[in-house]
Structure 1
Amino acid sequence: MALGHPTSTWTSYLNTAGSGLQTPETRRAVADFLDLEATVGSYFAERAYGELLNGGVYQAVSDLFGCRAEDVALSDSATRAWHSAVALLDLTARDVVWTTPFEWAGNLLLLRHLQRTAGFTIREVPLTPAGDLDLDWCAAELTDDVALFSVTQMPSCTGAATPLGPVAELLRGRRTLLVVDACQAAGLIPVDLTATPADLFTATGKKSLLGPRGTGISVISEKFRAAAAEPVSVDVHTHGFAPDGRIGRSDRSARVFELGEKAVASFVGLETALRQARSNDWGRITALSLALRDGARQVPGIRVHATGSHHTGIICVTHERLPAAELWERLCLAGVACWLIDGAHTPGYLLRAGVPAAVRLAVGPRTTAEEVAFGLDALTTVARAAGPASPAAPSDTPAGPALAPAGS
C-alpha cells in the first residue's frame, strides 16, 4: 500500500483527531440532499431543507453545547471561525493577550500578525509540573489589562484537556474575554457552556463530531459581539438596503459573522452528526484512551507525549531510533490509520520540547477496543523490528492521575 493511496478500509482507525469517520446516517443525510439538489436544483433543494438549515442545525449546536441558538454562527472551518471573530476585536497597545503552550500555530500566527499593528502584549500562561495550566499564576497575574485569554481546550498533539470551569470562574466579572478553541475537544469530552460560559467557542465538524469536512462552528457571546467591530463581509442574510439607501440590520444574532453562501449539503450532514453526538459515551471514550495511552507506554523504545492531569483521546509518540516519518509509514502499512504531525503546529509544546515531528494516535466516539488493541500490537511489532531498545522510554511529563473526562 502506497501512503498516497490507502486501502479502502483500515484494520484500526486511530486518526479521529485528524478526521472522524462519519456514521451511515450522516452520510445518508448528505447524499439525500445531493440527490434532491441534482433533481430540482440547489435553490429549491435549500428551500426544501429551510427549517433544518435556518433553525435545526443551530438548535443542534445549542442542545449539544448548552448555549443559545442565537449565539451560534456557522463557517467552513474552525480556523475561519476563530480568525474571523478575533480579528474584529479592537485590541490596543494597552492590552495583554494570554495564550497557553498548547496554542494552535494558526491561531498564534494570527495573534502575532495583529500584534504588529495593534502593539498589544502576548504572555504565555505557564504549566504546572503535572502539565496543567497554572491557575494560581493566572489568579496572581490577572489584571484589567488582560483583554483576552485564549485557551486551547485540547491541543492537536495530545489529549491534555483543560477544564473550562475554573477558568471561567477566574474571569467572572472581568473585562477579559475567554476565547476557547475546542477543535479537538468537541465530541470527545462533554461541554456545557451554560455552566461554564465562554465568550468565543469554536469547533470543527470533521473531527470527533464525525461531521462533514468544511464545517465550522462558533458560539459568540453578546459580550464578545459588543466588543467586536462589525464584520467586513456583511451579507444580505443579515443586512439590507432601505429605499432611502441606508443599510439596515435585520438580524442581531451571531449570524452576522456568517456569509450567506455555504456548503449546504455539508451542514445538512452536520445537523445529523450533532444530534448523534449527544449520545456519545464519554466514559467509554475515556476507557479506550486510557488503554491506548498506558499500552503505548509499555512498548520498548516508544516515548509517549501525553501530559496533564486530565487526559483523553489523543497521544503522540516517537521512537528512540526511528524517525517519526518512518514510524508513521510502518504503522500505516500495518493497517493502522494514524497521522504524522509537525511539532511546529504546537510550537509552545512539542517544538519547544525538541520534538520536530511525531506520530499521533487518537480514539473517537466510534473507536472500538479491538482497534486500540490492534494499534498497540502493530506499534509493538514495529518497535521490535527496529532492534533492541531500552526497557521503556520515559514520557515527557508526569502521567498524573488516571484518565477522567475533563468536561467543562
Structure 2
Amino acid sequence: MTDRTYTERWRSYLNTAGSGLQSRETRKAVADYLTLEGTVGSYFAERAYAELIEEGVYRSLAELFNCDRDDVAMSDSATRAWHSAVAGLTLTARDIVWTTPYEWAGNLLLLRNLQRTAGFSLQEIPCTPRGDVDIDWCHRHISDRVALISLTHMPSCTGAVTPLGPFSELVRDRRTLLVVDACQSAGNVPIDLTATPVDLLTANGKKSLLAPRGTGFAVMSSRFRAGAEPVSVDVHTHAFAPGGGIRRLTESARRFELGEKSVPAFVGFDTALRQARGNDWDRTAALSRELRERAGRIPGLRVHAPGTQHTGIMCVTHDRLTPERLWHALCRAGVACWLIDGAHTPNYLLRAGIDHAVRLAVGPRTTRGEIDYAIGVLEEAGGPRATVPALAQRKREWSA
C-alpha cells in the first residue's frame, strides 16, 4: 500500500497547497533526531548531525534546483525568506517595482511598507485576456528604472504557472532584478535555475516538497547578494573586528540566515528534498488536469482557472452553496481541502468578486483514486439535497 498519513477523516488529501503529507522516511528522520536530542541535548545532537545541517541539506536543495550551494540561504518559511532578502535591497524614489495580479498578500504588504520609506513606484504587469502574465507588455515597457520584478511562479489560489524562461531573458543584461515566489510551484513543477536563472527564488518545505513545517529557503544570485544587506545579522555570519568594525564571516547567501533554526525540521527537509528528485512532474500535471476538467463538468460548480498553463491547484465556488458550506461538506465526506480568503491574493480574487473559495490541490503523491473520490463528493455535495451522507459513512482505507 502506498505510504499515507491520513487521519480517520481523509479519504482524499487535496490540501498539499496548504501542507503536504510527509513520507515515512521523512517522519523517521525527524523522530530519530528528536530521540537523540532527548538523550544527549540539542547542542550535542546538532554536532552529531553537523555534516547534514551544514552541508547536506544545502547540497540536496542545490541538486534539486540545479543551483550553487553558495546561493542558498535557509529560513523558517517562504515569507520570511522573501522578506529578509527583499528588505535588504536599496530602492529609491527613482525606481519602479513590478508585481502581477497573482502576488501573495504577504509580499504586497512588505512592498507597501518599503514604498512608504523608499518612495519607489509600484506598477502591476497586466494579464492577457486568457489570464497569462503579459510578457509582451513587459517588453514594451521595460526600462532601466524598473529595479525589480516580483513574479509569483504559481499563485496560492490557482495552478496558473508563469514560465520563468521569458522573464529570465527579459532581465538579461539589465539592472532589473527578477524575484520569484515559488512557494506553490517548488515540488510541483521542475525548476532548473541554471537553465532559467533568476536573482531570487523563495519557497518553503511544507507544501509540495512534503517537508516538515518551519522550513524554507532562498536562492540568491551573486548580483542580488552584491546589492543587498541583511536587515538582521547574527554571530554565525558576522563578527566584530578589532576597533569595533563588523566583518562578514561568509560571502555566501548564508549571511542572510539567523543562527537559530528548528534542526529536526531541517533534518527531515533534507530527506524530503532527496525524495523530491524522483517526483513525476508529468503525472502531477495529468492528475491536475483531470481534476480540473472533471470538476468543470459538474453543474453549478465554477472552476476558477485563468491562464494557459496549469498544474497542482484549482479553486472553486458554487452557484447555490456558499464556499464555507461547500468546504464543510467536502471535509465531512473525507476530502481534505481548504477554504481560502480572497484577501490573500487581492489583486486577482477580490477584483473578480471572490471573497472566499474552496481550494483543492494535487500533490506529488496524489492518486487517481483520490481524484475519483473527490469528484464524487463534489457531484453529490452540489446535488438537489446538498448532503453527503453515504460518502461520509465510508470507513478509512488508508493507514499511516
Provide the C-alpha distance between the structure 2 equivalents of 1:42 and 1:306, rounded to a whole number of angstroms: 46
Q: Which TM-score applies when normalising by structure 1?
A: 0.92
| C-alpha contact 1:84 1:257 (8 A) present in aligned 2 | yes
Provide the C-alpha distance between the structure 2 equivalents of 1:81 and 1:7, rounded to a whole number of angstroms: 31
Provide the C-alpha distance between the structure 2 equivalents of 1:364 and 1:161, rounded to a whole number of angstroms: 15
| C-alpha contact 2:13 2:335 (8 A) present in aligned 1 | yes
Partner of 1:390: none
User: Structure 2 matches for 1:228-267, cutoff 5 A?
Assistant: 228=228, 230-267=229-266
Q: Could you tell me how far 1:7 is from its partner in structure 2?
A: 4.6
Letter in structure 2 aligned against 1:257: F
**Unmatched tracts of structure 2, length 5 or more:** 1-5, 387-400
| C-alpha contact 1:95 1:120 (8 A) present in aligned 2 | yes
Provide the C-alpha distance between the structure 2 equivalents of 1:48 and 1:27, rounded to a whole number of angstroms: 19
Q: Could you tell me how far 1:385 is from its partner in structure 2?
A: 3.7
Provide the C-alpha distance between the structure 2 equivalents of 1:67 and 1:179, rounded to a whole number of angstroms: 15
Secondary structure at 1:29's aligned position in 2? helix
Provide the C-alpha distance between the structure 2 equivalents of 1:243 and 1:174, rounded to a whole number of angstroms: 39
Provide the C-alpha distance between the structure 2 equivalents of 1:111 and 1:290, rounded to a whole number of angstroms: 34
Partner of 2:62: 62
Partner of 2:396: none
Partner of 2:79: 79
| C-alpha contact 2:84 2:231 (8 A) present in aligned 1 | no
Q: Could you tell me how far 1:233 is from its partner in structure 2?
A: 2.0
Partner of 1:219: 219
Task: Say whether residues 1:134 and 2:137 are aligned partners.
Answer: no
Partner of 1:34: 34
User: Structure 2 matches for 1:91-170, cutoff 5 A?
Assistant: 91-170=91-170
Secondary structure at 1:248's aligned position in 2? strand
Letter in structure 1 aligned against 2:252: S
Secondary structure at 2:219's aligned position in 1? strand
Partner of 1:175: 175
| C-alpha contact 1:239 1:250 (8 A) present in aligned 2 | yes
Provide the C-alpha distance between the structure 1 equivalents of 2:385 and 2:142, rounded to a whole number of angstroms: 49
Q: Which TM-score applies when normalising by structure 2?
A: 0.94
| C-alpha contact 1:187 1:365 (8 A) present in aligned 2 | yes
User: Structure 2 matches for 1:285-304, cutoff 5 A?
Assistant: 285-304=284-303
Provide the C-alpha distance between the structure 2 equivalents of 1:386 and 1:98, rounded to a whole number of angstroms: 47
Q: Could you tell me how far 1:129 is from its partner in structure 2?
A: 1.3
Q: Could you tell me how far 1:9 is from its partner in structure 2?
A: 4.6
Partner of 1:347: 346
Letter in structure 2 aligned against 1:122: L
Provide the C-alpha distance between the structure 1 equivalents of 2:338 and 2:372, rounded to a whole number of angstroms: 18
Secondary structure at 2:321's aligned position in 1? coil
| C-alpha contact 2:9 2:333 (8 A) present in aligned 1 | no
Letter in structure 1 aligned against 2:288: S
| C-alpha contact 1:322 1:386 (8 A) present in aligned 2 | no
Provide the C-alpha distance between the structure 2 equivalents of 1:20 and 1:386, rounded to a whole number of angstroms: 32
Provide the C-alpha distance between the structure 2 equivalents of 1:274 and 1:52, rounded to a whole number of angstroms: 12
User: Alignment RMSD, CA only?
Assistant: 1.1
Letter in structure 2 aligned against 1:141: H
Q: Could you tell me how far 1:244 is from its partner in structure 2?
A: 4.6
Q: Could you tell me how far 1:130 is from its partner in structure 2?
A: 1.4
Provide the C-alpha distance between the structure 2 equivalents of 1:106 and 1:31, rounded to a whole number of angstroms: 32
Task: Say whether residues 1:270 and 2:269 are aligned partners.
Answer: yes
Q: Could you tell me how far 1:241 is from its partner in structure 2?
A: 2.9
Q: Deviations over 1:325-365 (max 9, x none)?
A: 01000110011000000011111111100000000000000
Letter in structure 2 aligned against 1:285: T
Q: Could you tell me how far 1:88 is from its partner in structure 2?
A: 1.3
Seen in structure 2, the aligned counterparts of structure 1 residues 232 and 170 have a Cα distance that, compared at 3 Å, is closer
Q: Could you tell me how far 1:243 is from its partner in structure 2?
A: 4.8
Provide the C-alpha distance between the structure 2 equivalents of 1:245 and 1:334, rounded to a whole number of angstroms: 64
Number of residue equivalences: 381
Partner of 1:186: 186
| C-alpha contact 1:159 1:315 (8 A) present in aligned 2 | yes
Q: Could you tell me how far 1:242 is from its partner in structure 2?
A: 3.7
Letter in structure 1 aligned against 2:371: V
Partner of 2:392: none
Partner of 1:201: 201
Partner of 1:22: 22
Task: Say whether residues 1:362 and 2:361 are aligned partners.
Answer: yes
Partner of 2:3: none
Provide the C-alpha distance between the structure 1 equivalents of 2:249 and 2:145, rounded to a whole number of angstroms: 35
Q: Deviations over 1:265-289 (max 9, x none)?
A: 0000000000000000011101100
Secondary structure at 2:282's aligned position in 1? helix
Deviates more, 1:232-241 or 1:43-52: 232-241
User: Structure 2 matches for 1:327-346, cutoff 5 A?
Assistant: 327-346=326-345
Provide the C-alpha distance between the structure 1 equivalents of 2:223 and 2:376, rounded to a whole number of angstroms: 50
